[in-house]
Structure 1
Amino acid sequence: MTPGCDDRQVALDIWRWTSPDATAPVWPGRSWPLGATWSPESTNFAVSAPAATAMWVCLFDETDDGTVTETTYQLTEHSLGIWHGAVPGVAPGTPYGFRAAGPWQPSQGLRFNPYKLLLDPYGRAVTGTVTPGPSIFAHDLAHPESPSELDSAAAMPRSVVVAPDFDWGPDGDPPLRRRWRDSVIYELHVKGFTALHAEIPEELRGTYAGLGSPEVIRYLTDLGITAVELLPIHAFVSEPHLADLGLSNYWGYNSIGFFAPHGAYSSSGDRGQQVTEFQQMVKNFHAAGIEVILDVVYNHTAEAGALGPTYSFRGLDDRGTYHRVAPVDDAAGLPAHARFDDTYWDVTGCGNTVNAQNPQALRLILDSLRYWVTEMHVDGFRFDLLSALTRSGYASDMAVDMQSNLLTTIGQDPALRHAKLIAEPWDASGDGYKVGEYPPPWVEWNDQFRDTMRDFWRGRSDGVRTVATRLAGSSDLYADDGRSPYASVNFITAHDGFTLRDLVSYESKHNEANGEGNRDGTDNNRSSNHGVEGETDDASVIARRQRVAANLMITLCLSNGVPMITAGDERGRTQGGNNNPYAQDNATSWIDWRPDDAWLGMWDVTRTALRLRREHPALRQRHWFEGRPAIAGGPKDLAWIHPAGREMTGDDWHDGDLRVIGMFVSGDPLRSPGPRGEQQRDASFLFWLNGSEADCEVVLPENAWVQTGSVVLSTAPEVATGTALRAGETFTLTAQSLVVLRQG
Structure 2
Amino acid sequence: MTGLPPEDLPAILPGLSLSAGSPEPLGATPTAWGVNFALFSANADRVELCLFDATGEKERARIPLTERSGDIWHVHVEGLLPGQLYGYRVHGPYLPAEGHRFNPAKLLIDPYARALHGAIRWHDALYGYIPGDPQADLSFNPLDSAPFMPKCVVTEAPPPAPGPRPRIAETETLIYEAHLKGLTRLHPGVPEPHRGRALGLCARAILDHLRRLNVTSLELLPVQAHVDDRFLVERGLSNYWGYQPLAFFALHPEYAGAGGLAEFRTAVQRLHGAGIEVILDVVYNHTGEGDHLGPTLSWRGIDNLSYYRLVETGRYYANDTGTGNTLNLTHPMVLRMVMDSLRHWVEAAGVDGFRFDLATVLAREAEGFDAGSGFLDAIRQDPVLRAVKLIAEPWDLGPGGYQLGAWPWPFLEWNDRFRDGVRRFWRGDAGLVGDLAARLTGSAELFDHSGRPATSSVNFITAHDGFTLEDLVSYRVKHNEANGEGGRDGRDENFSDNLGVEGPTSDPAIRAARDARKRAMLATLFLSQGTPMLLGGDEIGNSQSGNNNAYAQDNEIGWIDWRAPDDRLAAFVARLAALRRAHPVLRQRRFLHARPRLVDGKPDIFWRLPSGRAPDPADWRDPAWRALCVEIRAAAGTPRYAATDDAIFAVFNAGDRVEVRLPDCPAGMCWQEILDSAAPEAGTRAVEGATVEVAAQSVKVFTRAPRDQGGKP
1:702 maps to 2:661: no
Taking the aligned partners of 1:167 and 1:593, their CA distance within structure 2 comes to: 35
- TM-score w.r.t. the length of structure 1 is 0.90
1:423 is matched with 392
CA offsets, 1:478-515, max 9 Å, x none?
A: 11332111000000000000000000110000000000
Structure 1 residue corresponding to 2:36, chosen from 29, 41, 44: 44
1:209 is matched with 199
1:711 maps to 2:700: no
1:689 maps to 2:652: yes
Structure 1 residue corresponding to 2:607, chosen from 640, 659, 667: 640
1:275 is matched with 261
The structure-2 alpha-carbon separation of the partners of 1:679 and 1:357, relative to structure 1 and needing over 3 Å to count, comes to closer
Taking the aligned partners of 2:113 and 2:600, their CA distance within structure 1 comes to: 63
Structure 1 residue corresponding to 2:356, chosen from 368, 378, 383: 383
SS in 2 for 1:26: strand
2:154 is matched with 161
2:280 is matched with 294
Report the residue type matching 2:594 in the other structure: G
Contact (CA 8 Å) 1:718, 1:732: kept in 2 or not?
Answer: no
2:245 is matched with 255
Taking the aligned partners of 1:475 and 1:484, their CA distance within structure 2 comes to: 9
The structure-2 alpha-carbon separation of the partners of 1:380 and 1:719, relative to structure 1 and needing over 3 Å to count, comes to closer
Taking the aligned partners of 2:510 and 2:285, their CA distance within structure 1 comes to: 42
Stretch of structure 1 that moved more, 562-571 or 717-726: 717-726
Map 1:573-612 → 2, pairs under 5 A: 573-594=542-563, 596-597=564-565, 599-612=566-579
SS in 2 for 1:432: coil
Stretch of structure 1 that moved more, 697-706 or 479-488: 697-706
Taking the aligned partners of 1:719 and 1:47, their CA distance within structure 2 comes to: 61
SS in 1 for 2:10: coil
Taking the aligned partners of 1:534 and 1:732, their CA distance within structure 2 comes to: 32
CA offsets, 1:583-626, max 9 Å, x none?
A: 000011111112x44x3321011100101111221211111123
Equivalent pairs, count: 698
1:437 is matched with 406
Map 1:525-536 → 2, pairs under 5 A: 525-536=494-505
Tell me how large the CA RMSD over aligned residues is.
2.1
**1:56 Cα offset (Å):** 1.2
SS in 2 for 1:115: coil
2:138 is matched with 145
1:740 maps to 2:707: no
Taking the aligned partners of 1:520 and 1:387, their CA distance within structure 2 comes to: 22
Contact (CA 8 Å) 1:232, 1:297: kept in 2 or not?
Answer: yes
The structure-2 alpha-carbon separation of the partners of 1:663 and 1:498, relative to structure 1 and needing over 3 Å to count, comes to same
**1:19 Cα offset (Å):** 4.1
Report the residue type matching 1:41 in the other structure: W
Structure 2 residue corresponding to 1:61, chosen from 39, 53, 58: 53
Contact (CA 8 Å) 1:62, 1:69: kept in 2 or not?
Answer: no
Structure 2 residue corresponding to 1:26, chosen from 18, 36, 49: 18
Report the residue type matching 1:508 in the other structure: V
Report the residue type matching 1:292 in the other structure: V
Taking the aligned partners of 2:226 and 2:599, their CA distance within structure 1 comes to: 58
Map 1:343-358 → 2, pairs under 5 A: 343-358=316-331
Structure 1: where are the runs of 5+ without partners? 1-12, 332-339
The structure-2 alpha-carbon separation of the partners of 1:727 and 1:87, relative to structure 1 and needing over 3 Å to count, comes to farther
The structure-2 alpha-carbon separation of the partners of 1:706 and 1:728, relative to structure 1 and needing over 3 Å to count, comes to farther
SS in 1 for 2:231: helix
CA offsets, 1:543-572, max 9 Å, x none?
A: 010110011111111210000111000011
**1:166 Cα offset (Å):** 4.7
1:188 is matched with 178
**1:717 Cα offset (Å):** 4.8
**1:735 Cα offset (Å):** 1.7
**1:48 Cα offset (Å):** 0.6
Contact (CA 8 Å) 1:670, 1:682: kept in 2 or not?
Answer: no
**1:701 Cα offset (Å):** 2.5
Report the residue type matching 1:310 in the other structure: T
1:483 maps to 2:452: yes
Structure 2 residue corresponding to 1:555, chosen from 506, 512, 524: 524
Contact (CA 8 Å) 2:177, 2:220: kept in 1 or not?
Answer: yes
**1:638 Cα offset (Å):** 1.2
Stretch of structure 1 that moved more, 731-740 or 564-573: 731-740
Map 1:301-316 → 2, pairs under 5 A: 301-316=287-302
Taking the aligned partners of 2:226 and 2:507, their CA distance within structure 1 comes to: 43
Q: Which segments of structure 1 move beyond 6 Å, counting only runs of 4 or more?
A: none
2:537 is matched with 568
Taking the aligned partners of 2:9 and 2:3, their CA distance within structure 1 comes to: 18
Stretch of structure 1 that moved more, 382-391 or 502-511: 382-391
**1:632 Cα offset (Å):** 5.4
Structure 1 residue corresponding to 2:71, chosen from 81, 93, 111: 81
- TM-score w.r.t. the length of structure 2 is 0.94
SS in 2 for 1:381: strand
Taking the aligned partners of 1:717 and 1:446, their CA distance within structure 2 comes to: 29
CA offsets, 1:403-450, max 9 Å, x none?
A: 211111111111111211111000024620010111111110010111
Report the residue type matching 1:84 in the other structure: H
Contact (CA 8 Å) 1:617, 1:682: kept in 2 or not?
Answer: no
2:126 is matched with 136
The structure-2 alpha-carbon separation of the partners of 1:124 and 1:706, relative to structure 1 and needing over 3 Å to count, comes to farther
SS in 1 for 2:318: coil
Taking the aligned partners of 1:167 and 1:84, their CA distance within structure 2 comes to: 26
Stretch of structure 1 that moved more, 317-326 or 568-577: 317-326
The structure-2 alpha-carbon separation of the partners of 1:302 and 1:633, relative to structure 1 and needing over 3 Å to count, comes to closer
Taking the aligned partners of 1:52 and 1:211, their CA distance within structure 2 comes to: 43
Structure 2 residue corresponding to 1:127, chosen from 97, 100, 117: 117
Taking the aligned partners of 2:119 and 2:3, their CA distance within structure 1 comes to: 27
Contact (CA 8 Å) 1:670, 1:681: kept in 2 or not?
Answer: no
The structure-2 alpha-carbon separation of the partners of 1:216 and 1:717, relative to structure 1 and needing over 3 Å to count, comes to closer
Contact (CA 8 Å) 2:472, 2:498: kept in 1 or not?
Answer: yes
**1:175 Cα offset (Å):** 4.0
Report the residue type matching 1:672 in the other structure: T
Report the residue type matching 1:455 in the other structure: R
1:5 is matched with none
Taking the aligned partners of 1:166 and 1:237, their CA distance within structure 2 comes to: 28
The structure-2 alpha-carbon separation of the partners of 1:107 and 1:705, relative to structure 1 and needing over 3 Å to count, comes to farther
Contact (CA 8 Å) 1:229, 1:295: kept in 2 or not?
Answer: yes
2:103 is matched with 113
Taking the aligned partners of 2:668 and 2:153, their CA distance within structure 1 comes to: 64
The structure-2 alpha-carbon separation of the partners of 1:706 and 1:659, relative to structure 1 and needing over 3 Å to count, comes to farther
Contact (CA 8 Å) 1:17, 1:115: kept in 2 or not?
Answer: no
**1:680 Cα offset (Å):** 3.4
1:457 is matched with 426
Taking the aligned partners of 1:461 and 1:258, their CA distance within structure 2 comes to: 46
Query: Could you tell me the percent identity over the aligned residues?
Result: 43
Structure 2: where are the runs of 5+ without partners? 706-713
**1:636 Cα offset (Å):** 3.1
